[in-house]
Amino acid sequence: MLNKTTKIILFIDDDPHMQYIVKTCLKTFTDWEVLLAKSGLEGLSKAETEKPDAILLDGMMPEMNGVTCLQHLQLNPKTQSLPVIFLTVKSGLTEPHRFLELGAVGAIAKPFDPLTLVTKMTKILGWNTDDLKK
């Protein structure tokens, strides 16, 4: 059972290796619960049912890319207030004016340094870093 201060992160990415890296990184440095979705459609469903505290979203996926997924999240009253951070190799999405125009709260470029991923996420989300594992 999660305590009430535990954050839930939904990571939407079609690459199982990237899912493993991000989940391992987040579990190593935080007590956050990490939910995984391998497609935009699965991510939309999990976002609505699981109500995560934040979504980490790949920009490039087959069938539904990250921008389209974000648009669907924003149209759904149950998910429109969830903060979304792009994690992508798509350089245009990591430019501040671009991700803000789309409605994301931030973007982190791939490849990323696993040792700084949590710090970057907490800064973007405005979360307290005192709760992180030391």
pLDDT digits (tens, 9 = 90+) for 95-125: 666 778 888 999 998 888 999 999 999 999 9
Categorize the per-residue pLDDT at 94 as very low, low, confident or very high, splitting at 50, 70 and 90. low
Please state, in angstroms and as integers, the Cα–Cα distance from residue 25 to each residue in 11, 42, 105, 113, 131, following that order.
12, 22, 21, 10, 16
The structure tokens listed for 121 are 């996420």
The structure tokens listed for 132 are 């992180």
Residue with the two structure tokens 């979203």: 57
**Which of 46-55, 85-94, 125-134 is the most confident on average?**
46-55
Measure the N-to-C terminal CA separation of the chain; round to a whole number of Å: 22
Q: Is residue 3 part of a domain?
A: no
- CATH number assigned to the domain comprising residue 42: 3.40.50.2300
Are 122 and 88 contacting, i.e. CB atoms less than 8 angstroms apart? no
Q: Is residue 1 part of a domain?
A: no
* pTM recorded for the entire structure: 0.90
Count of CB atoms situated within 10 Å of the CB of 111:
8
Mean pLDDT, range 70-79, rounded to an integer = 96
Q: Is residue 131 part of a domain?
A: no
Total number of domains constituting the chain: 1
Domain that holds residue 43: 8-126
Q: Is residue 25 part of a domain?
A: yes
Q: Is residue 54 part of a domain?
A: yes
pLDDT tens by residue, 44-65:
999 999 999 999 999 889 889 9
Q: Is residue 134 part of a domain?
A: no
Q: Is residue 61 part of a domain?
A: yes
Q: Is residue 2 part of a domain?
A: no
Are 83 and 125 contacting, i.e. CB atoms less than 8 angstroms apart? yes
The dihedrals phi and psi of 108, each to the nearest 5 degrees, come to -125, 130
